[in-house]
Amino acid sequence: MIKLYSYNHSAKTLSKYSGSTISASLRNKISKSEFTEELKSRDEYIRHFLNLDRNKLDAVSVLIDFINVNDIKSIVSLGSGSGLLEFLLCQLNDNLTVTALDFDSALIQAATSYFSPNSVSTLKYLELDMRDFDSIDAIIANADLIVSFGALYIYDDVEYQSLLSVLNNNNVRYIVDFHAGCLSSLGMIKTQIKNSLPVIINGHKLGIHHGFGRTDNQIRRIYKQSNYNIIQSAALTSYRKYYVLERNIIV
Ligand SMILES: C[S@@+](CC[C@H](N)C(=O)[O-])C[C@H]1O[C@@H](n2cnc3c(N)ncnc32)[C@H](O)[C@@H]1O
Q: Which residues pair with 147 in a beta bridge?
A: 77, 176
Q: Which residues contact 45 (CB under 8 A, 6 or more apart)?
A: 39, 82, 110, 114
Q: Which atom of ligand 1 is nearest to the CA of 53?
A: 9
Residues near ligand 1 (Cβ within 6 A): 22, 27, 53, 56, 79-82, 85, 102-104, 129-131, 149-151, 154, 180
| CA-proximal residue: ligand 1, atom 4 (nearest) | 81
For residues 198 and 14, the model is more confident at 14
- What pLDDT sits at residue 96? 96
Instruction: Assess if residue 137 is contained within a domain.
Output: yes
Question: Probe ligand 1: pick from 154, 162, 179, max atoms within 8 Å of CB?
Answer: 154
**Can you tell me the distance from the alpha carbon of 20 to that of 103, in angstroms, rounded to the nearest whole number?**
17
| Cα-to-centroid distance, 251 and ligand 1 (Å) | 36
Question: Which SS3 state, helix, strand or coil, does residue 10 take?
Answer: coil
Range of the domain at 79: 24-181+229-247
User: Is residue 54 within 8 Å of residue 231, measured between CB atoms?
Assistant: no
Instruction: Assess if residue 145 is contained within a domain.
Output: yes
Shortest CA distance to 154 belongs to which of 28, 26, 53, 21? Answer: 21
Judge whether residue 4 has pLDDT over 80: yes
User: Is residue 142 within 8 Å of residue 74, measured between CB atoms?
Assistant: yes
Instruction: Assess if residue 173 is contained within a domain.
Output: yes
- What pLDDT sits at residue 201? 60
Give me the percent of the chain exceeding a pLDDT of 90.
73
- DSSP 8-state symbol, 54: G
Q: Which residues contact 40 (CB under 8 A, 6 or more apart)?
A: none
Judge whether residue 202 has pLDDT over 60: no
| CA-proximal residue: ligand 1, atom 11 (nearest) | 79
Instruction: Assess if residue 204 is contained within a domain.
Output: no
For residues 80 and 36, the model is more confident at 80
> Could you give the number of structural domains in the chain?
1
Q: What is the pTM of this model?
A: 0.93
Instruction: Assess if residue 13 is contained within a domain.
Output: no
How do residues 219-250 score in pLDDT, each as one tens digit?
999 999 999 999 999 999 999 999 999 999 87
Q: Which atom of ligand 1 is nearest to the CA of 31?
A: 25
Question: Which SS3 state, helix, strand or coil, does residue 156 take?
Answer: coil
| CA-proximal residue: ligand 1, atom 25 (nearest) | 104
- Average pLDDT for the chain: 91
- What pLDDT sits at residue 205? 66
**CATH number of 48's domain:** 3.40.50.150
